[in-house]
A and B are shown apart, each in its own frame.
Chain A
Amino acid sequence: MNKKILYILLFIFIGWNYFIYGQARFPKPEFDSGYNYPEYQITEPISPVWEYIDVAVLLIVLTLTTRFTLKTRSRKSIILISAFSLLYFGFFREGCICSIGSIQNIALTLFNDGYTLPLSVLLFFLIPILFTIGYGRQFCAGACPLGAIQELTGIYPVKLPKTVETILSTVPYIYLVLSILFAATDSHFIICKYDPYVGIFRLNGPSTIMIFGILLLVSGVFINRPYCRFLCPYGVILNWVSRFSGKHLTITPDICTNCRLCETSCPYEAIIPSDLLQEKESMVKSRKKFIIYLILLPIITVGGIFFLQMFSENLAMVNQKVRLAKELRLEKENEIKAISIDAVTFKESGSTLEQLFLEEQQILERFRKGTPWAGGFLGLSLGLALLLTTINRKRDEYKPDQGKCYSCGRCFEYCPIHLEKLELK
């Protein structure tokens, strides 16, 4: 009797296995001719050790770049180290993982419990920031493969009109905020998806991104570092950290003589001129402006909050599930047939519409919570940027703008004192 139950249980167990593990409609044959199963063609993924070699290389490259920008002050060495980073991080390791993209992993980890952050990604996010606190944007100068490919191809610098430059330089803030919003809601990794250079590193990729990448690379010959200046979201973080960096690259190795020779040397508009030789706005006028912008600051911030909140449902359409739910709702209510591959798969999967709509609502709720923060941040940055334009500091020397300066060292050889010191050596 007991045995019978056991057999039944065994039968159910085997049957269940067949039910789960595919349909064993035809029994496994027994070969008489001594046929052996062929070998699997399997290669294990590249060893995880490589990720830590990457971290080590990043550390070495950053240390060397710091030395080249602050101590030996050699543009040639900086170019060499960029070329190495381009070859190693770009063409050899094919651009993944990079610090720029790691922002999204960090956002995903902070707001989702299901995702475990690999240690190497965390290090890739933090190490460049730590170097920036200490020494300015060394990462942009020497370690970033995207920066390197643009630095090496930026041969004929052309200056953009100031208004165009200012308007375009707000794009990275929007890009940063959206990429964090989409990553935190587990919707999309837009930085990776629209990375223009990764296709070039891999010599392979979707045609639209390849075309975008090549166009950007060609335009970068004249408008230097277009991605860094007008798109890079990691640059926004480094920009703000770099403003408070302990040490930073200087144009001159000694006291500035205000010779004005370096004035036009920077293609990135990152040199703040000294005001010994030019007229300044009157103190009263700039104070008035300061007060107006200070009052405007909270207004712009609140405006940003409400502005982006209005678009929370539109932004949520980036999420695949929200799109699917919308399509199926249209089908249900207006009888427009849902024919997308997602909808077809959903119908075959046997999950219920209620479940999907519930999930959709949860995702929408996260967007509703996230967008005010995103909008507030955008408004606050805009307000602060306006406020900072009114602060007139007395300057008696030509200095790099610590936020914008990529520590590329282009200005070194324009400085007569630097050249003199080189000759003395």
Chain B
Amino acid sequence: MSEKNKYQNRRDFVKKVGKWAVALPIAYLGYELIQKTSAQEFVWQIDPYKCTQCGQCETNCVQTVSAVKCMHAYEMCGYCDLCSGYLRQGVKERNTGAELQLCPTSAINRSFIENPYFAYTIDEELCNGCGKCVKGCAAFGNSSLYLQIKHELCVNCNLCSIAQTCPAEAIQRVPNSKAYNLKDGYKPKES
């Protein structure tokens, strides 16, 4: 046996031992992990009952217009004329003037239904998820406005960067099948 072959045998042996030394822990790790695994996928969502409307959703999302939008539980709304989610506090008039609105982007539409009720709908194109209206509605109204992560906008980061800073720990992983925490229990139609 030549000198080169002698070395080659030793190298092959080291390689074989090394391979097993690497493969066995990884196999064990895989075995350990598979017990904590589920086929379920998860997405991020806000629990509206924990949310404190601190305003971080607007600024901390990786999307430059946040994937968090205001939603309206129509069946909870009081349809007030003096809406504390729509109008600034202490305004004298009640109309659609921009200077009267709480929303910095005028994303809430106010429309008259019948005396004395007004309907409020959200224009999600304009909404930036700041939660000012949500805070207003929770303070003096029925708390029918609330923030949710819209999944057509959310890129589902491994760790949601809003969740990382949310002071109320309101953003959590939820199963893909229950992707929204809707306040009035609205079930979206199966598509």
Chain B contact residues, majority secondary structure: loop
A interface residue numbers (CB < 8 A to B): 20-29, 31-33, 35, 37-38, 40-46, 48, 51, 94, 96-97, 101-102, 104-106, 109-110, 115-120, 122, 126, 129-130, 133, 188-189, 192-193, 199, 202, 204-206, 240-241, 243-246, 320, 341-342, 344-346, 348-349, 393-394, 396
Nearest chain A residue, comparing its CB with the CB of B161? A193
Q: Is B76 within 8 A of A22, CB to CB?
A: yes
Q: Which of B13-28 contact A (CB under 8 A)?
A: 15, 18-19, 21-23, 26
Note all chain B residues with C-beta closer than 8 A to A22: 76, 138, 142-144, 183
Chain A contact residues, majority secondary structure: loop
Q: Is A29 within 8 A of B117, CB to CB?
A: yes
A404 to chain B, nearest CB (A): 16
The size of the chain B interface, using a CB distance under 8 A, is 73
Asked if B43 lies at the interface with its beta carbon under 8 angstroms from chain A, I say: yes
Asked if B5 lies at the interface with its beta carbon under 8 angstroms from chain A, I say: no
Nearest chain A residue, comparing its CB with the CB of B84? A25
Asked if B64 lies at the interface with its beta carbon under 8 angstroms from chain A, I say: yes
Determine the distance from Cα of A303 to Cα of B85 in the docked complex, in whole angstroms: 59
Q: Is A116 within 8 A of B38, CB to CB?
A: yes
Determine the distance from Cα of A58 to Cα of B82 in the docked complex, in whole angstroms: 56
Determine the distance from Cα of A265 to Cα of B142 in the docked complex, in whole angstroms: 70
Instruction: Known contacts A97-B158, A119-B39; decide if A40 and B186 are in contact (CB<8 Å).
Output: yes
Note all chain A residues with C-beta closer than 8 A to B180: 42
Q: Is B4 within 8 A of A28, CB to CB?
A: no
Asked if B41 lies at the interface with its beta carbon under 8 angstroms from chain A, I say: yes
B98 to chain A, nearest CB (A): 23
A175 to chain B, nearest CB (A): 16
Determine the distance from Cα of A117 to Cα of B39 in the docked complex, in whole angstroms: 8
> Which among B30, B74, B124, B142 is the interface contact of A24 at CB below 8 angstroms?
B142
B176 to chain A, nearest CB (A): 5
Asked if B188 lies at the interface with its beta carbon under 8 angstroms from chain A, I say: yes
